[in-house]
């Protein structure tokens, strides 16, 4: 995903889960009542604009959420993880999983009053496919593997796939914003459009105010929305530095934090606040640049590094004990597809013995030497926000004779871009960072990160090639039987644990804190796709599940 290098630092920062302290999303800077009798229920979110909220200029998960308030998809996910009928009231799949027929709801309209028809859906798929040579947003990628899309009537769309894809409904039909032909058909460079006149969607909200990337946003509900007038009438978004403090002060209605300490959570224990926690939403993976020959491409060296790091201690020291140690199979234990794999328990003596047996003998200054290659001394690319983690990793590997030389950089292109082009020895990134999904996501994330048949991306393993894994990755993609797919994904995790191209260090707990009097049904979206929180289904319905709107 070389186009990802075009994303500026701010967009990376807002789209990443930068560290294990309180996540900086921002909040409104003034206090307003939860329900204004003239305007109706209002939600104030702790974040500024992350790009321009069109499907082609929004960025990261926050930007996607902001865009999704204006634009709809064919289906959409709620707190149950089920895909709800959205623009499409019914979906029929062929027995071979190659053909999907979507029947649109009758009477759909765009925000400008013009009808939304099957022709708009066909246009959307074709228009996105034509953007492959451009720089699409990180989350919304041109749909892959589509053999054809056609209208079989004013409200009927038939999508034919080149091969079965178990993730098609969730990751294409449930994520691709449908756009109006009459607005976009004459636009040749969609990413360059930043005028509100192009923001004609079918969604539940209109953008009433926009103050540039990073600035405040105001959305107002459409009373003519096809599901009915939305429960939340106004959505205000504005960035501040400390959303947790903003929530406590009454200036924002919800805040998210990662690895929060008990003293941080204490003010929110009363009846006025609610709390939802999730394990495994994020991780900080350790990468070895296997493009480089020598120790970095030696699995014995990577295993020894894993044994030298106390991953349980990382949870205790960096996430206030709120989290889980990383699994070498990458998926979180909270993922339904998680499988037990080889764990590399903390064992510095065993790590040293493994390095000895691999021929890496101690040399001057207690640093091991690689035969014919010099000292085991490597640059560690890491965010400058992760100084405590960097210090722990340096000390852990130094005890077994491996020297790390930290290279702290800004969270944006300096970190992810340097990793993408292979300008590193070892690196710690954030996952999911600027993209969708996470360790709890659909297990196809393993194919995207580790298959050599997938083009290099910001967070994929560097030069990991294993034909058996590649075959398994393709098999799970076309396996629709849950038990059968579970077995294939388990094999993938066991192989990753053996080869260790990437080691998740730990999964810090993510916590949502919110004011109950504003909205009491907050949740993390299961599977984390296309985004984790601030699901528009909640704002529209006021409920965790379904499409019925709360009175």
Q: pLDDT tens digits, the chain, 551 residues: what are they?
A: 223 222 333 333 333 323 222 222 222 333 444 555 445 699 999 999 999 999 999 988 889 999 999 999 999 999 999 999 999 999 999 999 999 999 999 999 999 999 999 999 999 999 998 886 444 455 566 678 899 999 999 999 999 999 999 999 999 999 999 999 999 999 999 989 999 999 999 999 999 999 999 999 999 999 999 999 999 999 999 999 999 999 999 999 999 999 899 999 999 998 999 999 998 889 999 999 999 989 999 999 999 999 999 999 999 999 999 999 999 999 999 999 999 999 999 999 999 999 999 999 999 889 999 998 899 999 999 999 999 999 999 999 999 999 999 999 998 889 988 998 999 999 999 998 777 678 999 999 999 999 999 988 888 999 999 999 999 999 999 999 999 999 999 999 999 999 999 999 999 999 999 999 999 999 999 988 887 889 999 999 999 999 999 98
Q: How many angstroms separate the CA atoms of 530 and 448, rounded?
A: 15
| Residue 238 · residue 27 · CB < 8 Å | yes
The per-residue pLDDT for 527 is 86
Whether residue 257 has a cis bond before it, omega within 30° of 0:
no
**How many angstroms separate the most distant Cα atoms in the chain?**
77
Tokens representing 305? 């590094």
CA distances from 262 to 320, 324, 387, 510 (A): 8, 17, 22, 13
Q: Which domains does the chain have, with CATH numbers?
A: 2-259+510-541 (3.40.190.10), 285-508 (3.10.105.10)
The per-residue pLDDT for 531 is 79
pTM, rounded to two decimals: 0.89
**Quick one: how far is CA 338 from the chain centroid?**
18
CA distances from 3 to 54, 188, 268 (A): 18, 18, 41
Of the candidates 363, 390, 388, the one whose C-alpha atom is nearest the C-alpha of residue 374 is 363
The per-residue pLDDT for 437 is 78
3-state secondary structure of 427: strand
* Neighbouring residues of 439: CB distance < 8 A, sequence distance ≥ 6: 280, 281, 282, 283, 330, 331, 332, 334, 335, 431, 504, 507
Q: How many angstroms separate the CA atoms of 242 and 68, rounded?
A: 25
Strands 234-237 and 40-45, by their bridges, are parallel
The per-residue pLDDT for 39 is 52
If you compute the radius of gyration of the chain from its CA atoms, what whole number of angstroms results?
24
The per-residue pLDDT for 140 is 67
Residue with tokens 């098609």: 168
């Amino acid at each position: 995903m070389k186009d990802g290098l075009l994303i500026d630092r701010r967009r990376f920062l807002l789209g990443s889960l930068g560290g294990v302290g309180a996540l900086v999303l921002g909040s409104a800077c003034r206090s307003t009542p939860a329900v204004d009798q003239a305007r109706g229920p209002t939600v104030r979110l702790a974040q500024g604009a992350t790009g321009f909220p069109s499907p082609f200029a929004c960025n990261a998960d926050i930007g996607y959420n902001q865009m999704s308030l204006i634009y709809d998809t064919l289906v959409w996910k709620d707190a149950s993880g089920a895909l709800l009928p959205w623009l499409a009231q019914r979906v029929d799949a062929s027995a071979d999983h190659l053909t999907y027929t979507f029947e649109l709801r009758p009477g759909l309209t765009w925000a400008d009053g013009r009808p939304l028809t099957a022709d708009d859906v066909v246009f959307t798929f074709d228009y996105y496919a034509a953007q492959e040579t451009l720089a699409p947003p990180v989350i919304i990628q041109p749909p892959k593997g589509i053999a054809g899309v056609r209208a079989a009537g004013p409200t009927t769309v038939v999508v034919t796939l080149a091969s079965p894809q178990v993730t098609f409904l969730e990751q294409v039909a449930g994520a691709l914003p449908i756009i109006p032909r009459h607005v976009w058909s004459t636009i040749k460079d969609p990413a360059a459009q930043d005028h509100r006149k192009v923001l004609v969607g079918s969604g539940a909200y209109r953008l009433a105010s926009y103050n540039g990337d990073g600035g405040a946003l105001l959305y107002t509900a459409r009373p003519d929305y096809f599901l009915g007038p939305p429960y939340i009438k106004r959505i205000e978004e504005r960035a501040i530095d400390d959303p947790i403090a903003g929530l406590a002060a009454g200036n924002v209605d919800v805040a998210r934090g990662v690895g929060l300490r008990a003293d941080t959570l204490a003010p929110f224990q009363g009846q006025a606040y609610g709390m939802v926690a999730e394990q495994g939403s994020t991780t900080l993976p350790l990468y070895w640049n296997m493009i480089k020959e020598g120790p970095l491409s030696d699995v014995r060296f990577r295993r020894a590094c894993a044994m030298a790091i106390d991953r349980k201690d990382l949870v205790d020291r960096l996430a206030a004990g709120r989290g889980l140690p990383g699994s070498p199979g990458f998926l979180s234990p909270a993922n339904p597809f998680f499988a037990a794999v080889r764990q590399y328990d903390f064992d510095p003596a065993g790590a040293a013995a493994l390095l000895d047996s691999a021929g890496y003998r101690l040399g001057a200054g207690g640093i091991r030497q690689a035969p014919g290659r010099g000292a085991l001394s490597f640059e560690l690319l890491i965010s400058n926000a992760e100084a405590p983690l960097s210090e722990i990793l340096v000390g852990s590997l130094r005890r077994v004779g491996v020297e790390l030389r930290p290279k702290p950089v800004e969270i944006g292109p300096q970190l992810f871009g340097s990793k993408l082009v292979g300008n590193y020895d070892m690196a710690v990134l954030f996952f999911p960072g600027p993209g969708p999904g996470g360790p709890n996501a659909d297990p196809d994330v393993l194919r995207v990160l580790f298959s050599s048949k997938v083009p290099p991306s910001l967070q994929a393993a560097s030069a990991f090639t294993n034909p058996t894994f590649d075959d398994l990755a393709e098999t799970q993609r076309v396996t629709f039987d849950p038990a059968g797919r579970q077995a294939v994904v388990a094999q993938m995790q066991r192989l990753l644990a053996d080869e260790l191209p990437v080691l998740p260090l730990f999964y810090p707990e993510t916590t949502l804190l919110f004011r109950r009097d504003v909205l009491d049904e907050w949740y993390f979206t299961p599977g984390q796709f296309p985004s984790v929180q601030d699901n528009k289904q909640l704002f529209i319905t006021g409920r965790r599940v379904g499409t019925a709107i709360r009175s």
